[in-house]
Structure 1
Amino acid sequence: MKKTALLLLTLILVYTCKSEQKTSLKSTTNQPIKATFSIIIHGGAGSIRPDNLSKEKEIEYQQKLEEAIKVGHDILKNGGTSLDAVQKTITILEDSPLFNAGKGAVFTHEGHNEHDASIMDGKTLNAGASAGTKTVKNPINLARAIMEKSPHVMLSGKGAETFAKEQGLNLVDPKYFSTEKALKSLERVKASEKNKMASFFNTDLQDSKFGTVGCAALDKYGNLASGTSTGGMTNKRWGRIGDSPIIGAGTYANNNTCAISCTGWGEFFIRGMVAHDISTLMAYKGLSLKEASRLVIHKKLKDLGGNGGIIAVDKNGNFAMEFNTQGMFRATMNHKGELYIGMFKN
C-alpha cells in the first residue's frame, strides 16, 4: 500500500514539473533571445561615381536610403520580425523613382515596365517570388503574399496579377511606373544597338541597364530574412527574367549562415547561384561572411564575366557589402542605432 502511494506521489511530482516546464517554455517563446539586431539595404550597383552624380542628386539618394533603413530599423528595435522589416523597407524604395524597382522601374524593348521580386524567411527557408508583373504597385508585398498564402514559391505575369488582386494588394495603372529617367535610359540603350561593338565595351552603358533594391535583416529572435525587388534590365525582350526573383541566385536567407540580396547583371548571378554560394561557403567551408562574399563577388562572379554586388548580414549581426562595380547605393544600421550610408567605391 505504501509502495503504491509513493509511486502515485512520484508520478504526480513528475507530471507537475513537466507542466511547469512547458508553461515556462511557452511564456518565453515570443521573447527576444538576443540584444543584437541589424539591417542592411542596397539600391543597385553600377557606374556610381562622384563625377556622374550631382550633389543635389547625391543628397536625394542619401535621404531616401536613410528613410528606408530607419523604417526597418524601428521595426526591429520595437521587437518586430526580420520579415516585416525587410518588406516595409523595400516598399519605401519601390515607391521612389530614384531606383529601378516599383515606381522607378526601367522599360522593356516594347516600352513596358515589368517587375520581379522575392523574399525569404531564414527560419523556415520558406520563400515567395513574382516575375513579370505590370500592375502591382509594390511587388515585394506580392512576394510575401505568395510565400504565406499560396502553395507555390514563384508566380509570373497575368497569373501573379490575378493572385495579387485576390489578395487585395494595391494595383495601379501601368502608366504609374513611367518616369523620364527610365525612358531616357531606354532611348540611350536602343541608340547604342546601332554600334554593337561600341556598346559591348561601354561599361557605363552596361551598368545603366541594371538596378535593383534589396534588404537583409536579423531580428531580436535570431531570425534572418532577405528580399529583393527590381524593374529588370533596360531594353530586355521576350519576357526575360533576371536573378532577383530566383531564390538562391538573387535572394537567400538561412538562420544557420546569413541573409543576402544581390544586384547586378542577373544572368551571371543566376549561373553562379551567387546568394546561395556565399551561404554554402560559410556552411561547408567555414568561411566568414566577409570572406565568402569577397571570394564570390571579386573572384568567382568576375571570372564568369559578371558585375554587381551583394549586401548581407550573418546570424551574429555582421555586415558585408561587396561589389565589383564603381559604386553601389547602400546603408547599414545596427542595434546601437549607428547609421552608415555609402555610394561610391571608397
Structure 2
Amino acid sequence: MKKFVFALSVLWIAFGCQDQKVVPVKEELKKVNDYAIIIHGGAGTILKKNMTPEKEAVYTAKLTEAIKVGYEILRQGGTSTEAVVKTIQVMEESPLFNAGKGAVFTHEETNELDASFMDGKTLNAGAVAGVTNVKSPIELALKVMTDSDHVMLSGKGASVFAKEKGLEIVDPSYFYTEKRFKSLQRIKERAKTELDHDDKKAAFYDADIKNAKFGTVGCVALDKNGNIAAGTSTGGMTNKRWGRIGDAPIIGSGTYANNNTCGVSSTGWGEYFIRSQVAYDISAQIEYQQKTLKEATQDVIQKKLTKLGGTGGVVALDKNGNMSFEFNTAGMYRASMDDKGKLVVKIYKE
C-alpha cells in the first residue's frame, strides 16, 4: 500500500510540474553594476530653445566634472559616502546650481541653505536647514549624522555645531551672485506692479513656481561593498519667506537610502515632495511590492506626484546598480556613470 501511495505521489509531482510555468527573473533584479553613481543639478522649465550652445556646454562640463570626482572615488574602492559628499561639493561651489555658492535669495535678500545625507547600510541620516554661513551644507549634514545624536539641526544652532566641528565658516556674502539677486528683484517687482488682490497674488506665485528651475543638486552612489549613500543640497525657493523649508533636508522626501532597496535624491516643488514622501515611497514600493526601480520611480513621479500637482524629479540607484532619471518637467540637469565608465549627461526631456 505504501509503495502504491508513493508511486502515485511521484506521478502527481511529475505531471503537476509540467503545468508550472517558470517565471523569469526581471532583468532589473539582476546585478548590473558593481558600483555606480548618478547625479542631478535640478529640474524645471529647461528648454533647448532657451539655451545657447555655450551655456549648454558649461552645464555639461560641470556635471561631467562633478560626477567624475565621485566615480573615481568608487573606482578606487572608496566609499559611497565620500563619493556623494565630494561630488555634491563640486556643484555647491559652482554658481550654476541652486546650492552653496549659487543659492537663491529669500524675500529678505539672504541665502538660507538646506542639505541632507543618508547612509543605506545603517539607515542613519543627517540634515541641516536654514544655514547662512557654512560653505558646504552637505558636509555639515554628514557631520550631523556622524558626530551628533540628532538627525536635523537648523539655523544658528547648526552654524554653532559646524564651527565646533571645524567646518569652514564663510561670510554670508560668499553666497551672493548677481544672477540670483537680480532674479529675486524681478520677482519682487512683478509682484509689486502686477498684483492688486490676494487671489491674484496666489495665482501669480503658483504660476511662477511651476515655471521655475529647481536648481537643487543631489547624488546617489553604490560602492564596491554594496553600500548605497544619497545626498541633496539646495538654496531652496527664490523669494521664500518665514523660514520656509522644502523637501531637500527632509529624510524620506528629498533624500533616502537603504541597502536593501535603493537610494534617491529629489528636486522640485518641495511642498509636494514632502506631502508625498517621494524618496521613501520609491524605496517602499521596491521593498513591499517587489517593483523594479524604474517601475517605482515612474509610479511615484509620473502618477502620484503629478496627480497631486507637484513638479520635479528624482535620480535613483538600486542595490543591483540599476539607475533611473525620472521627472515630469521639461528638463533636468543629470548625469550617470556605471562600473564600465560609461558616462551619460543629459539636460532635456527625450
Separation in 2, partners of 1:141, 1:156: 14
Of all paired residues, the percent bearing the same amino acid is: 63
Over the aligned positions, Cα root-mean-square deviation in angstroms equals 1.5
AA aligned to 1:199 is F
The Cα offsets for residues 9-36 of structure 1, whole Å up to 9 and x where unpaired, read as: xxxxxxxxxxxxxxxxxxxxxxxx9971
Separation in 2, partners of 1:209, 1:233: 10
Residue aligning to 1:66: 64
Separation in 1, partners of 2:131, 2:33: 39
The structure-2 alpha-carbon separation of the partners of 1:304 and 1:192, relative to structure 1 and needing over 3 Å to count, comes to farther
Separation in 2, partners of 1:319, 1:114: 31
Separation in 1, partners of 2:33, 2:278: 30
The Cα offsets for residues 21-70 of structure 1, whole Å up to 9 and x where unpaired, read as: xxxxxxxxxxxx99710000000000111111211111110000000000
Q: How does 1:305-320 map to 2 (within 5 A)?
A: 305-320=309-324
Contact 2:293/2:318 (8 A) holds in 1: yes
Q: Report the Cα offset of residue 268 of structure 1.
A: 0.2
The structure-2 alpha-carbon separation of the partners of 1:40 and 1:186, relative to structure 1 and needing over 3 Å to count, comes to same
Say if 2:271 is the partner of 1:267.
yes
Residue aligning to 1:45: 43
Q: How does 1:144-293 map to 2 (within 5 A)?
A: 144-193=142-191, 194-195=194-195, 196=201, 199-200=204-205, 202=207, 206-208=210-212, 210-293=214-297
**Secondary structure at 2:204 match in 1:** helix
AA aligned to 2:204 is S
What stretches of structure 1 move > 6 A for 4+ residues in a row? none
Structure 1: gaps spanning 5 or more residues: 1-32
The structure-2 alpha-carbon separation of the partners of 1:54 and 1:133, relative to structure 1 and needing over 3 Å to count, comes to same
Contact 1:210/1:234 (8 A) holds in 2: no
Contact 1:34/1:222 (8 A) holds in 2: no
**TM-score normalised to structure 1 length:** 0.88
Structure 2: gaps spanning 5 or more residues: 1-30, 196-200
Separation in 1, partners of 2:261, 2:217: 22
**Secondary structure at 2:160 match in 1:** helix
Contact 2:335/2:346 (8 A) holds in 1: yes
For these two proteins, the number of residue pairs brought into alignment is: 313
AA aligned to 2:341 is G
Which of the residues 321, 324, 329 maps onto 2:325?
321
AA aligned to 1:144 is L
The Cα offsets for residues 50-94 of structure 1, whole Å up to 9 and x where unpaired, read as: 111211111110000000000000000000000100000000000
The structure-2 alpha-carbon separation of the partners of 1:198 and 1:249, relative to structure 1 and needing over 3 Å to count, comes to closer
Contact 1:41/1:311 (8 A) holds in 2: yes
Separation in 1, partners of 2:127, 2:270: 15
The structure-2 alpha-carbon separation of the partners of 1:297 and 1:235, relative to structure 1 and needing over 3 Å to count, comes to same
AA aligned to 1:299 is K
**Secondary structure at 1:329 match in 2:** strand
Separation in 1, partners of 2:343, 2:190: 40
The Cα offsets for residues 183-223 of structure 1, whole Å up to 9 and x where unpaired, read as: 122122223323337625746x6342632000001000000
Residue aligning to 2:307: 303
Separation in 2, partners of 1:314, 1:91: 23
Q: How does 1:3-82 map to 2 (within 5 A)?
A: 36-82=34-80
Contact 1:211/1:233 (8 A) holds in 2: no
